[in-house]
Chains A and B, each alone.
Chain A
Amino acid sequence: MAAVREVPPDNDVHDEVLAATQRRRAQKVQIAAFFLFVALVPLAVHNRYYLHILIVVGLNLILATGLNLLMGYAGQVSLGHAAFYGIGAYVSGILTATYGCNPWAALLAALAVTSLVAWLVGKPTLRLRGHYLAMATLGVGIIVVVVIRQTTGLTGGAAGLTEIPSMTLFGRELQSNMDMHYFYFVWAWVCLLTVLFANLVESRPGRALRALHDSELAAQTLGVDTAAFKVRALVISAAYASIAGTLYAHSSMRFLSPTPFGFHTSIALLVMVVLGGQGTLWGPALGAVTITAIQEALRPYADYDIVVYGLLLVVMMIVMPGGLSRALGALYGRLRERVARHRAGDVAR
């Protein structure tokens, strides 16, 4: 005999608010577990090459998280995101190498310049409906590389910018030849920027972005200044790229050339976001890990990676349009259901 359970009339009310709090708590646990795991990695990995790759994964994760905010949440496409990455890297590199600036001051200056450029690109284009931002960022991506190549006196041109000093932390140099320290430094940034991102998307402005993604008209009718919110999403996403750029500039190579900031990288970032799962918390991480691994594996055939990205995009659109993280989430759900059913069967027997 089942016991008669008293259901208070507002049971549902508390259920859903509770569920929301629980979801958020679960997310915090996931984030904590992930970064704890990352923190333990150097204990197992002593190989400098692997540590370097993991630093690259971290940078890509920052870039993909920023782009995810723009694409997955605000529904806007950037085809030149590597340009913001490049501006961040070069402003930091030039200010510290040529003008002897403090790396942290240079980081802030790079943030300011990148955000300004993003704002100037977004302001006129995001008021219009359609793919104007994609076009404009494509243009910016081309222009930035050309400018880097041509302003040889400032950027070192195609030959590159050398002798970029190390990042400092509390007045001490983060010896970039000891990749372990820099690994922790970069991943601390990844952690911080992931937490900020998780906070942002579950908030008034984050919901405004998702709302305008679904229906600009309905969002406007509820008072959302959709054009302004799209511009803000672009600026934040560019700011993320700028921080990744600064971190790149001070990494062990201490050298910048225009190559990593071209169209190739913009497409790779786009594929990371789509492959991982747009509009999810863990999509960028899955995408960054997968694409960085592919990039390393294809290093001898670097010119053909764009073919792989194209194929990946097409296959993803057909096989799992929601991206890896949603597909894995669904798989996990199905497994749990099966286990639960199995247990229930046991009880019945």
Chain B
Amino acid sequence: MSEVLLDVDGLCKDFGGLEAVKNVSFQVRHGQIKALIGPNGAGKTTIFNLITGVLPADAGSAVLGDTQLLGLPTHRIAALGVGRTFQTSLLFDQMTVLENVMVGHHLRGRSTMLTAALRIFGAGAEEREYREAAMQALDRAGLAHLAGRSAAGLPIGQRRLVEVARALAAEPRLLLMDEPAAGLNMRETEHVGEIIHSIRDGGVTVLLVEHDMSLVMNISGEILVLDGGQRLAEGRPDEVRNDERVLAAYLGEDID
């Protein structure tokens, strides 16, 4: 087995009496597609918020490689190589699709306010370089025709794809995806599955929250099941699918 990339240990989060995350521990290994599943309100998004520094954790640790993430601000965690897409896509609606992806290059850019305003020390070249790179990224994602469109008017399926392309532009080591298939039709969902595979094949480890069980069962190497903020089960898709506790938690829902 490959080495551990993300090591989450004893994570806790309490929202004024509501224990959203209770002592959750898990590991994500290099090159893995790992899924985090559970009923609504299980604490999945909260775990993403804790790992990315959006919310402070009450206890526990989350170590990426050998760096403790908890306590760091969100932008520092991003700089360490953690990318994220959101449950409801957060695009920059006042910008074009191309500009959205160009913001994804922020971490690799060097220009400051001063050098950018004066166009010195390679700021102009950097601008052209990232415009080209962003355009190529859109092209690879099959979105080149949308480059000049305002992000605000895009249908949900395309919003999700743009958000993924933007996150990948930052060249993350670990990508956290929160329900990338929510609101998509079957064909679009299949496409998202292919994209997640290709992201992994490109060397990016993926931690995925998803309600679409066929997608989860198809692409994940390992699944962690949460319920009421607690770890319920963990294992390969076929193990999880037949776990009694999981079936009970999902009672009435179709796991296949």
Contact = CB atoms under 8 A, between A and B. Distances in A.
Given A208-B106, A218-B86, A13 B95 contact: no
Contacts of B144: 10, 12-13, 16
Interface stretch (B108-116, B194-202, B236-244): B108-116
B29 to A, nearest CB: 23
Given A211-B92, A213-B94, A217-B90, A204 B106 contact: yes
Most buried by A among B99, B126, B135: B135
Given A17-B131, A224-B106, A203 B83 contact: no
Given A206-B116, A207-B102, A220 B74 contact: yes
Given A207-B99, A218-B92, A223 B118 contact: no
Contacts of A279: 94
B54 A219 contact: no
Contacts of A199: 116-119, 123
B213 interface: no
A208 B111 CA distance: 11
A219 B103 contact: yes
Interface residues of B, number: 49
Main secondary structure of the interface of B (DSSP, over half): helix
Interface residues of A, number: 37
Contacts of B86: 217-218
Contacts of B148: 15-16, 19
A302 interface: no
Query: Which residue among B99, B106, B148 has the maximum number of chain A CB atoms within 10 Å of its CB?
Result: B106
Given A220-B78, A221-B74, A203 B127 contact: yes
Interface string B118-131: 11000100110011
A226 B92 CA distance: 14
Interface of B: 52, 54, 73-75, 78-79, 83-84, 86, 90-95, 98-99, 102-107, 109, 111-113, 116-119, 123, 126-127, 130-132, 135-136, 138-139, 144-145, 147-148, 166-167, 170
20 contacts: A10-B144, A12-B139, A15-B148, A16-B147, A17-B131, A20-B131, A197-B117, A199-B116, A202-B127, A203-B123, A203-B127, A204-B109, A214-B92, A218-B92, A220-B73, A221-B74, A222-B78, A223-B106, A224-B75, A224-B106
Given A19-B148, A203-B127, A232-B113, 14 more contacts: A17-B132, A205-B116, A210-B95, A210-B99, A214-B91, A214-B92, A215-B90, A217-B86, A218-B86, A221-B84, A222-B103, A222-B107, A223-B107, A225-B73
